[in-house]
Chain A
Amino acid sequence: MTAAVTDVDSSTQAADAAMGGGPRGSAATSARRMLGNRIGSAIALVIAVLWTVPTFGLFLSSLRPERQIKGTGWWTIFANPGLTLENYEQVLGGSSSTNLSQYFMNSLVICIPATLLPLALAIMAAYAFSVLEWRGRDVVFVGVFALQIVPLQMALIPLLRFFNDTGAGSVLLYLPLWIAHTIFALPLAIFLLHNFMSEVPRDLVEAARIDGAGHVAVFFRIMLPLMMPAIASFAIFQFLWVWNDLLVGLTFSGGQRLIQPLTAALAALTGDRGQDWHLLTAGAFVSIVIPLVVFFSLQRYFVRGLLAGSVKG
């Protein structure tokens, strides 16, 4: 912004302040004025409440004894006091039919390789598409990008058949899940990481090459450190995506309870025991807690990734 504009800005701001006007006029503040500050705040408050109270109600309910959950609303907690960890004991350590802890472990065992694998492969591919120069590079890159169009549903049956025919999951049970998640993550991951990598100044790479650095050295010493924020963003996205996924988990676990992720177990529990709210509330909260921790501790990267366009379907 030029000095002149800043001057005008600050003088109108001073004028506003002198006249008791609101904060200076951005697009949003003027629109807010349109709605009137009071009414506007009330609407925002209503939305904020609607967006948080359901989750809060679930959490509070998960701490109430079974009989109270089934008989009274969670908002009557003061009239019907009594908090307990019983529900959590049951979903984390109870009898095998309601024990979700093994599925929790499954989700973790699925998520970690299903995040690392596509990440590593995509960073390497992005290097090939942005730093290396070869004939046909741009055409192949557009092809990879275009694969984002293909819905997961188009790939499920043939891929499942392929795994069954080759016996891919017979030794490493989770292998089909890891590979499937990796494949479905690659088009977007390569596209995003390529975009970030292309923004690294070419001079940096050229200078290192002239100094005799090979591609592996350039990759490790220049690209990786510069790419860290982008890598973190994508890693968080992929982890949350895999953790929250139901479709891939359901399909490639082949209905085997042994390797099903937590989401699949919860969906089944909702179907079988839809009125057992003491189990459902605690179970749902167990599945939500990891994403929430990741989300709150790494929100900055999450938002950055979102703004870069990492939305997958």
Chain B
Amino acid sequence: MGFLLNTRVGQLIVAVVLFAAVVAALLLIAKAADGVRERVRRPAMVAIFAGPALLLLALGLIYPFFRTVWMSFMDARSQSYVGFANYVDALTVPSNLIGFRNTFLWVILTPLLSTGIGLVYAVLIDKSRFEKVAKAMLFLPMAISFVGAGIIWKFVYEYKGAGQQQIGALNAVIDALGLEPVRFLQDAPANTIFLILVLVWIEAGFAMVILSASIKAVPEDIIEAARLDGASPWQLFWRITIPSIRPSLVVVLTTISIATLKIFDITRTMTGAKFDTQVLANLMYDQSFTFGNNGLGSAMAVFIFLLVVPLVIFNIRQMAKNREVRG
């Protein structure tokens, strides 16, 4: 018994066994219910199959959602009503405003750069002999955590004073060119751009995979017809390829924007949100869990939600439209 509760593997075994038992019990009840009258059977089946998931969603997403909105109108310890004070704080205190400004930069630059690079790369390697390997190379960072990527790039950006031997790859190149080494992560406002490039490095592979599949789906007879009509490669690309893959381009752009709005790991790992690199999602975490200000932290969460909503709605409508087009 001690082994099961006091060791990590023990806890793992208990969890898996416990959970398997619950599922087995549910399915046994379902099996028994299969034999009863239709009027009883139908609701019983729904309750057994969908009930557990719906219960967890109500408890873990729907209730917290309303609770967070409520807390955003309360003080730091959720004891008295403060109206819009937290929202005013969020939009007027200079250190918070830096978070908004940086988040704006992140959300504009990350989708554009990663989609652009992903598209160019997808086009360049299409049908080449090394296509599979080439894809895996760009795709590889997608498997790496933001924390891992943060460390990888912190190492690339590493700075040593002029005259010392540089151990960061970028400053070594700069040094070799005879220029002054750059403090990539310390000097604002450029440091935010260098953090953004890390996310671009991760997301470009995602853009490339989706766009590559989409490019391959452009019917060849259209291209062939345009070529026979004397269209130049440049015209072909802009007048045929781009319009044909536009639905995928939009989905890729919005999907990356949504992910970018919630990013906090990279900032946290690489600069600890110091040197003016604060972002919205990290503000939310710091206020709620470091400074214990549930009011302001909740208001930040609501801001993230409000910014995500239009993007998600746009994304869903676009996906629905794509499905219609494909038939």
Residues of A within 8 A of B (CB): 5, 8-9, 12, 23-35, 40-41, 43-44, 47-48, 50-55, 57-58, 61, 69-75, 102, 105-106, 108-109, 112-113, 116-117, 120-122, 124-125, 127-129, 132-134, 140, 144, 147-159, 162, 171-175, 178-180, 182-184, 186-187, 190, 214-216, 219, 240, 243-247, 250-251, 263, 266-267, 270-271, 274, 277, 280-281, 283-284, 287-288, 291-292, 294-296, 299, 303, 306-307, 309, 311, 313
Q: Which residues of A contact B152 (CB under 8 A)?
A: 54-55, 57-58, 284
Whether B265 sits at the interface, judged by CB under 8 Å, is yes
**What is the CA–CA distance of A216 and B44 in the complex, to the nearest angstrom?**
13
**What is the CA–CA distance of A273 and B134 in the complex, to the nearest angstrom?**
36
Whether B68 sits at the interface, judged by CB under 8 Å, is yes
Q: Which residues of A contact B154 (CB under 8 A)?
A: 270, 274, 280
**What is the CA–CA distance of A186 and B49 in the complex, to the nearest angstrom?**
14
Q: Which label, helix, strand, loop or mixed, suits the secondary structure of the B interface?
A: helix
**What is the CA–CA distance of A41 and B168 in the complex, to the nearest angstrom?**
27
B208 to chain A, nearest CB (A): 9
User: Using a Cβ–Cβ cut-off of 8 Å, how many residues does chain B contribute to the interface with A?
Assistant: 128
Contact present for B61 and A183 (CB under 8 Å): yes
Which 7 A-B residue pairs are closest in the complex by CB-CB distance? Answer: A214-B34, A28-B126, A183-B60, A244-B145, A34-B233, A128-B50, A158-B64
Contact present for A149 and B312 (CB under 8 Å): yes
Contact present for B60 and A179 (CB under 8 Å): yes
Q: Which residues of B contact A108 (CB under 8 A)?
A: 12
Contact present for B145 and A246 (CB under 8 Å): yes
Q: Which residues of A contact B233 (CB under 8 A)?
A: 30-31, 33-34
Whether B112 sits at the interface, judged by CB under 8 Å, is no
Q: Which residues of A contact B100 (CB under 8 A)?
A: none
**What is the CA–CA distance of A251 and B86 in the complex, to the nearest angstrom?**
22
**What is the CA–CA distance of A244 and B209 in the complex, to the nearest angstrom?**
20
**What is the CA–CA distance of A83 and B237 in the complex, to the nearest angstrom?**
49
Q: Which residues of A contact B258 (CB under 8 A)?
A: 313
A23 to chain B, nearest CB (A): 6
B248 to chain A, nearest CB (A): 10
In the complex, which of the residues A173, A270, A309 contacts B269, with contact meaning CB atoms closer than 8 Å?
A270
Whether B179 sits at the interface, judged by CB under 8 Å, is no
**What is the CA–CA distance of A51 and B143 in the complex, to the nearest angstrom?**
13
Whether B223 sits at the interface, judged by CB under 8 Å, is yes
B218 to chain A, nearest CB (A): 4
Given contacts A155-B68, A307-B210, contact A214 B223 (CB under 8 A): no
**What is the CA–CA distance of A183 and B61 in the complex, to the nearest angstrom?**
7
Q: Which residues of A contact B166 (CB under 8 A)?
A: 73
Write 16 A-B pairs (CB below 8 A) sorted by A numbering. A35-B124, A48-B138, A54-B155, A58-B152, A72-B165, A109-B9, A120-B19, A124-B50, A128-B50, A151-B304, A157-B294, A246-B268, A247-B285, A266-B151, A292-B143, A306-B206
Given contacts A31-B233, A124-B52, contact A154 B155 (CB under 8 A): no
Contact present for A153 and B284 (CB under 8 Å): yes
Instruction: For chain B, residues 249 to 306, give those with C-beta under 8 angstroms from any C-beta of chain A.
Output: 255, 258-259, 261-262, 264-265, 268-270, 272, 281, 284-285, 288-289, 294, 297-298, 300-302, 304-305
Given contacts A125-B53, A151-B262, contact A26 B64 (CB under 8 A): no
**What is the CA–CA distance of A214 and B33 in the complex, to the nearest angstrom?**
9
Smallest CB-CB separation from A189: which chain B residue? Answer: B53
Choose among A74, A150, A266, A274 the residue with the greatest number of B CB atoms under 10 Å from its CB.
A150
Contact present for A306 and B262 (CB under 8 Å): no
In the complex, which of the residues B63, B241, B255 contacts A28, with contact meaning CB atoms closer than 8 Å?
B241
Contact present for B145 and A73 (CB under 8 Å): no
Whether B174 sits at the interface, judged by CB under 8 Å, is no
Smallest CB-CB separation from B319: which chain A residue? Answer: A309
Whether B82 sits at the interface, judged by CB under 8 Å, is no
Contact present for A5 and B145 (CB under 8 Å): no
Segment with Cβ contacts to A, from B23-31, B87-95, B103-111, B188-196: B23-31
